[in-house]
Amino acid sequence: MDIFLQQIINGLVQGSIYALVALGYTMVYGIMGLINFAHGEVVMIGTLVTISVAGFLIKAGMPVIFAGLAGLTVSVLVCMALGWGLERVAYRPLRNAPRLTPLITAIGMSIVLQNVAMIIWGRNYLTFPPLLPSVAFEFGGAHFTAVQVIIVLVSALTMGGLLFLVYRTKLGMAMRATSQNPAVASLMGVNINRVIAAAFIIGSALGALAGIMVGTYYEIAHYQMGFMLGLKAFTAAVLGGIGNLAGAMLGGILLGLIEALGAGYIGDLTGGFLGSHYQDIFAFLVLIVVLMFKPSGLFGEKTGDRA
């Protein structure tokens, strides 16, 4: 039982990380119908900037908590600027191009960002400074840390905050209008350039937050860390219904749980025939089954022509 509980905790934390990244994908997709494949790299940049800033300040003798907050602020600002720049350089000129074109530039931007990060931070793995105290808890034989609790809380709060933004504010209303029909929205006085830029900036800020969480949790970072993470988070977003904020959260947590339980029990259930190397296959199998019965994902709504 303690092992099962431990696997649930493992899955929940891993899933919350996926969810936090998936929110960034879904945010942009919900408004523009564009899959921003460079989002994983924004997460990576967020982590690496925090390492540089917080690491420097800690070395300069600043208390860890302030250094961490400074790192967070700088990395969120850098990622916001990056998100704005990405949209301005790679996507806005292609707003009316065929849908495949921005997808290609997205992949291109992802490669560019990886290589820029490699030039700036080098090829080596970097250690993330321990910004949060490593307090460990034990509950029913399962071990977990304060960082894990914070990750789950942060992703839940972020989702709540985004839901509030989209459904309760004027900017959110403009976003929903742009999502439904950009041409009509602009006729109604919505500055769609500004709305889309805002979506990118907010999505990238979330990416920075996700990056800091990932960094604090694993305590390592690397210029390629965003790639797999982005892919998994994208899968989570699709599973939950891309474009839907609650769906991204649910999809992420579901994917994390499936992976943990798959890796933990698949070997015993099949009598050793399938091992833990099938955990990804298991996760994608669930995705395929969900998409067969609900092509728009678990929470996905019919988004019409733009989806």
Residues of this chain that bind another protein (CB under 8 A): 3, 6-7, 10-11, 14, 118, 123-125, 127, 136, 138, 143, 145, 218-220, 222, 224-225, 228, 259-265, 267, 275-277, 279
| Shortest CB 95 distance to another protein, Å | 32
Do 196 and 87 contact (CB within 8 A), yes or no? yes
| Shortest CB 185 distance to another protein, Å | 41
Residue number with CB closer to another protein (7 or 36): 7
| Shortest CB 178 distance to another protein, Å | 36
| CA dist 187 → 92, 95, 174, 179, 190 (Å) | 19, 17, 12, 14, 7
Supply φ then ψ for residue 128, to 5 degrees.
Answer: -85, 130
CB under 8 Å to 156, separation ≥6 — which residues?
16, 249
Do 209 and 76 contact (CB within 8 A), yes or no? yes
Residue with tokens 């350039």: 193
Residue number with CB closer to another protein (136 or 289): 136
| Shortest CB 246 distance to another protein, Å | 24
| Shortest CB 224 distance to another protein, Å | 6
- Rounded to 5°, angle at Cα 160 from 183 and 35: 45
Task: Tell me the Cα Rg of the chain.
Answer: 20
| Shortest CB 255 distance to another protein, Å | 12
Question: What 3-state DSSP class applies to 92?
Answer: helix
| Shortest CB 124 distance to another protein, Å | 4
Residue number with CB closer to another protein (3 or 77): 3
Residue number with CB closer to another protein (10 or 158): 10
The region, left, alpha or beta by phi > 0 then psi within -120 to 50, assigned to residue 61 is left
Residue 137 pairs with which residues in a beta bridge? Answer: 144
Residue number with CB closer to another protein (10 or 244): 10
| CA dist 278 → 115, 187, 213, 254, 266 (Å) | 31, 51, 27, 17, 8
CB under 8 Å to 129, separation ≥6 — which residues?
51, 54, 55, 58, 64, 67, 68
Residue number with CB closer to another protein (77 or 111): 111
What the block records as the tokens of 67 is 């250094």
- Sort strands 126-127 and 142-145 into parallel, antiparallel or unpaired: unpaired
CA distance 206 to 39: 10
Do 301 and 244 contact (CB within 8 A), yes or no? yes
| Shortest CB 288 distance to another protein, Å | 20
Residue number with CB closer to another protein (87 or 259): 259
Residue number with CB closer to another protein (51 or 242): 51
